[in-house]
Amino acid sequence: MPNTLEDKDWKLLLRRIKDGKCTPFLGAGACFGKIPLGSQIAREWAKEYNFPLENCSDLAQVAQFLAVTEDPMTPKEKMKEVIRKCLEEVNLQYFNNPDEPHGVLADLPLPVYITTNYDNFMLQALKNRNKTPRLELCQWNKYIRRISTVTELNPTVSNPLVFHLHGFYETPESIVLTEDDYLDFLVNISREQDLIPARVQEALAGTSLLFLGYRIADWNLRVLLRSLASYFEKSLSRAHVSVQLLPSSEAQKEKVQEYLDSYFGKLDIRVYWGDCREFSADLKRRWGDFNCGN
């Protein structure tokens, strides 16, 4: 069973990138090593606030506890502070590392980037490549709709759009974090599809999506795929790619891989088995070779 994408899958992905018909979709794993994973943040908060339940690694559940016992803005404000402190330690040279996911993606001729992360890494990486990116928030709640109005979006390679689906740390009210937030997000997006700008809807339905930094074991990805189900239904049958980590247990690898291949296969999502940095280094090399040969 293959460990990674087949050559024909790579050729398809590289051709879509060259045509501007690929949209990166970034999750927490893309920032691994610079921003703590949700499970780590959850355990720290659970200890600090005496979380009474067993699953202290579930960030949405722990954040929900804080929202109930403190107030709804407490976990969002704490998340803002976590991200802010982490960003203080990152300078623009970081994005020049040859396997840094955001930097590699910023080098590609793409007009739209989508993220469920709260940080500004994609924005900064694009600026580091002398591009002029525009940041927009998903208007999933009334507060965001009240403070911002999305004008017509016409992103280009030199002026790309970075769309924050689950919020941005500088606007904590926009952050999708608690269990209630995820439920409200799903309900509102399903009920009012115009909460996602038309240009982003076009990217979701009309390009190959490249998922980096998600694990199928995380319900966060399943919620995400569920919220995007209607756009997959409208899509023009393009294949998508997801970067996935295999479990550490050798005995379970083959069974898990068969299950995930089957799960993703129904959505026409091809799987690259490895971490984000391995994929990014591979993509950078293949993209360079592809351009030299065309």
pLDDT of 253 over the 80 cut: no
Same domain, yes or no: 102 and 138: yes
Mean pLDDT of the chain: 89
Q: What is the pLDDT of residue 141?
A: 93
Q: What is the pLDDT of residue 194?
A: 82
Per the structure, how many domains does the chain have? 2
Residue 171 pairs in a beta bridge with 168
Same domain, yes or no: 74 and 179: no
* Entry field: residues in the chain: 294
Q: Name the pLDDT band for 273 (thresholds 50, 70, 90).
A: confident
Q: What is the pLDDT of residue 1?
A: 40
Same domain, yes or no: 76 and 96: no
In a domain, 201, yes or no: yes
In a domain, 24, yes or no: yes
Same domain, yes or no: 126 and 236: yes
pLDDT of 235 over the 80 cut: no
Nearest CA among 127, 135, 125 for reference residue 168: 135
Strands (E), 41-110: none
In a domain, 147, yes or no: yes
Q: Mean pLDDT lowest for which of 14-18, 140-144, 153-157, 217-221? A: 217-221
Q: What is the pLDDT of residue 228?
A: 76
Domain boundary among 20, 55, 89: 89
Q: What is the pLDDT of residue 2?
A: 45
Q: What is the pLDDT of residue 40?
A: 95
Whether 242 and 269 have beta carbons less than 8 Å apart is answered as yes
Instruction: Read off the tokens for 42.
Output: 């959850």
In a domain, 155, yes or no: yes
Same domain, yes or no: 85 and 128: no
Q: What is the pLDDT of residue 150?
A: 67
Same domain, yes or no: 20 and 159: yes
Whether 260 and 244 have beta carbons less than 8 Å apart is answered as yes
Task: Name 202's Cβ contacts closer than 8 Å, sequence gap at least 6.
Answer: none
Range of the domain at 237: 7-34+90-292
Report how far residue 93's alpha carbon sits from residue 102's, in angstroms, rounded to the nearest whole number. 12
Same domain, yes or no: 117 and 212: yes
Same domain, yes or no: 170 and 259: yes
Same domain, yes or no: 282 and 159: yes
Same domain, yes or no: 105 and 202: yes
Same domain, yes or no: 142 and 268: yes
pLDDT of 238 over the 80 cut: no
Domain boundary among 74, 89, 104: 89
**How much is the pTM?**
0.93
Q: What is the pLDDT of residue 140?
A: 93
Same domain, yes or no: 43 and 160: no
In a domain, 265, yes or no: yes
In a domain, 1, yes or no: no
Report how far residue 85's alpha carbon sits from residue 59's, in angstroms, rounded to the nearest whole number. 19
Domain boundary among 64, 89, 114: 89
- 213 vs 261: which has the higher pLDDT: 213
In a domain, 83, yes or no: yes
Q: Mean pLDDT lowest for which of 99-103, 166-170, 173-177, 218-222? A: 218-222
Residue with tokens 């941005």: 168
